[in-house]
Amino acid sequence: MTTSVPLMRVGLLGTGNVARALAHGWSAAGHDVLLGSRHPEERKDLGLPVAGLHETAAHAEVLVNATPGTVSVGLLHSIGAPALAGTPLIDVGVGLSDDFTELSHPNSSLGERIQEAFPLTPVVKTLCTMDSTVMIAPDALDGPSTVFLSGNDADAKRTAGRLLTDLGWPPSSQLDLGGITTARGQEHFALLFMGIANGLGGHSFNIKVVDRASG
């Protein structure tokens, strides 16, 4: 695979399905990936490099928050604002209750909470409107679909967009929604996502924004 961005050191906070999928996707594109765990010694069986949270943050040129949205802010605080300052952070988390029926940030978003807590860390919200299998294989769907970006920092969004391209999302499939406040729209889609998944009987789908025909 040919990358659209110079090879980067990508640190992924989390070791769950999403973090592992993204790590495999970016590793296949040639990027240097490292998973960050609170207990790295217990996660050596993943077939991917794993380190502690602080080591992962220090290693990364760009960080990815792939932790459960209900614990993300606290976990980032455990790393510390100075260690995160200046490093773009791609946030893919959503805070949902254990039964997937309620949002933990019903009047805001995790992306906004992270940006507010870490003002020197440019946050980009993306990839939270789909399953991990679709994140890294959009071509497996029956036609092109849409991935969204929200964030205040233009340079960070450009970096995120290029990394999305390396996962198979061409610029034509990427839709910049604007500032980080638009992250709540992405995250609140989670409730509709669960409804669609129930209706289809599966999670491997995505949505496409269809504009009005010209002319």
Q: Are 98 and 53 in contact (CB under 8 A)?
A: no
Q: What is the mean pLDDT of residues 171-198?
A: 97
> For 109-151, how does the pLDDT look when each residue is reduced to its tens digit (9 = 90+)?
999 999 999 999 999 999 999 999 999 999 999 999 999 999 9
- Tens digit of each residue's pLDDT (9 = 90 or more) over 19-65: 999 999 999 999 999 999 999 988 888 999 999 999 999 999 999 99
**What are the backbone angles phi and psi of residue 171, rounded to the nearest 5°?**
-55, -30
Instruction: Please compute the mean of the pLDDT values over residues 6-15 and round it to a whole number.
Output: 94
pLDDT of residue 170 exceeding 90:
yes
pTM more than 0.75: yes
Return the closest-CA partner of residue 149 out of 128, 119, 121, 122: 128
68 — pLDDT class (breaks 50, 70, 90): very high
Distance CA 195, CA 115 (A): 29
- pLDDT, one tens digit per residue, over 153-166 is 999 999 999 999 99
- Interval 69-74 mean pLDDT: 95
Partners of residue 175 on adjacent β-strands:
148
State the average pLDDT for the chain.
Answer: 94
Cβ-Cβ contacts under 8 Å for 128 (sequence gap 6 or more): 91, 92, 93, 94, 186, 187, 189, 190
**How far is Cα 61 from Cα 9, in angstroms, rounded to an integer?**
5
Instruction: Calculate ∠ Cα 27-33-38, nearest 5°.
Output: 140
Q: Which residue has the tokens 């217990």?
A: 42
Residue 179 has pLDDT above 50, yes or no: yes
b/e code 58-70 from CB counts within 10 Å (16+ = b): ebbebbbbbbbbb
How would residue 5 be classed by pLDDT, with cut points 50, 70 and 90?
low
Per-residue pLDDT tens digits for 27-36? 999 999 999 9
pLDDT confidence of 4, banded at 50, 70, 90?
A: low
Return phi, psi of residue 88, to 5°: -60, 140
Could you give the angle at which helices 72-79 and 110-117 cross, rounded to 10 degrees?
20
Question: 71: which 2 tokens?
Answer: 């614990």
